[in-house]
Amino acid sequence: MSQVLGVVIEHDHEGIKPVSLEVISAARKLADQISGKVIAFYLGHDKDEGADIFIKNGADEVRFLIHPNLNTYIHENYGFALTRELEKSPVDYLFLPATNNGKELSAVLSAQLGVGVATDCISLSVWGEGDVEAVRPVSAGKALSTVRFKGKKPFVLTLRPNVFRETGFPISRPGKVIREDIQLPEFSRQAQQLVKKVGSQLDITEARIVVSGGLGMQGPENFKLLEELAEVLGGAVGASRPVVDNGWREYSNQVGQTGRTVSPDLYIACGISGSVQHMAGMSSSRCIVAINTDPHAPIFSIANYGIVGDVLKVVPSLTREFKKILTS
């Protein structure tokens, strides 16, 4: 029996989140193995946003659920709209990005629909007669759990950003687009004003390059060095928990078990010793570069490349060299 795989598209005032295309691509790969169908759900006010790119990345059908109060993510509104839509048009599996919004919305949907949820999945495969199984880290990333579902559908999964990369599908593929003006309850919430803090524009969970600093940076003023390096590389700035606890950086920058989990192509750890909690949040990075004065720092045990030296001298040198290479 053919399975239907749903994908919830995440977007903000700057446009579609790239991680949403990764999730569509991952769903497409599964659907091809089980002769399944991929439906992308876009909740918002813009009736024409992204249909072609969703179909190009693997969606067979795109459904726009349109209401002015859906243009900005509010979990009550999104939860209500999706629950009603899934009651009318059931899916077997529902995939969301493992972002802050995606994790919150997956929990809301799981509770409202009374279904199972697997968060922060890093691998998907098919088993048995066309069923999907997922792998997700547990115990601070020290072990992996294989999850198989049974019971009421849809089964809800969130996929870790930067793990499921977009795949080159045919430039042109057929797809169906449905646009539906929906109704929300009279008590639905509406965003009156969206306030965005000026600073790093990249979410560290979605960035392909992350430059993180620890207490070895010796003070908040020295994080400007990391910001300059991140800007040259087109990356985002992260931080260890002690840095955040000291008030040097905001919590949104924190990488680790009690912060954000990242999987960039390149992770540069500057002045970070490498506690178990921190490494749980970045050990899945494709390439790790560690800079520390202590040659025995635990971070070197998982680093692909290590530099023993003063981070306040090494980072400016790296920035200068990258500038030469990238601007030549």
pLDDT digits (tens, 9 = 90+) for 118-154: 999 999 999 888 899 999 988 877 789 999 998 999 9
Question: Distances from the Cα of 58 to the Cαs of 16, 134, 166, 228, in angstroms?
Answer: 15, 20, 9, 37
Query: What superfamily in CATH does domain 4-181 come from?
Result: HUPs (3.40.50.620)
From CA 253, how far away is CA 207, in angstroms rounded? Answer: 12
Domain boundaries, the chain: 4-181, 209-327
Q: Give the neighbor-by-neighbor strand order of the sheet with 4-8.
A: 117-121, 155-159, 93-97, 4-8, 37-44, 61-66, 176-181
Residue 33 pLDDT > 80, yes or no? yes
Cross-strand partners of 158: 96
Asked if 213 and 105 touch (Cβ cutoff 8 Å), the reply is no
104-128 average pLDDT score:
94
Per-residue pLDDT reduced to its tens digit, 284-306? 899 999 999 999 999 999 999 99
Using pLDDT thresholds of 50, 70 and 90, give the confidence band for residue 191.
Answer: low
From CA 26, how far away is CA 12, in angstroms rounded? Answer: 22
pLDDT of residue 319: 96
* Domain pair 4-181 / 209-327, same fold: yes
Residue 168 pLDDT > 90, yes or no? no
Q: Give the neighbor-by-neighbor strand order of the sheet with 266-270.
A: 236-239, 209-213, 266-270, 287-292, 305-308
Instruction: Return the CATH number of the domain spanning residue range 209-327.
Output: 3.40.50.1220
Residues 6 or more apart whose CB falls under 8 angstroms from that of 312 comprise 217, 218, 222, 225
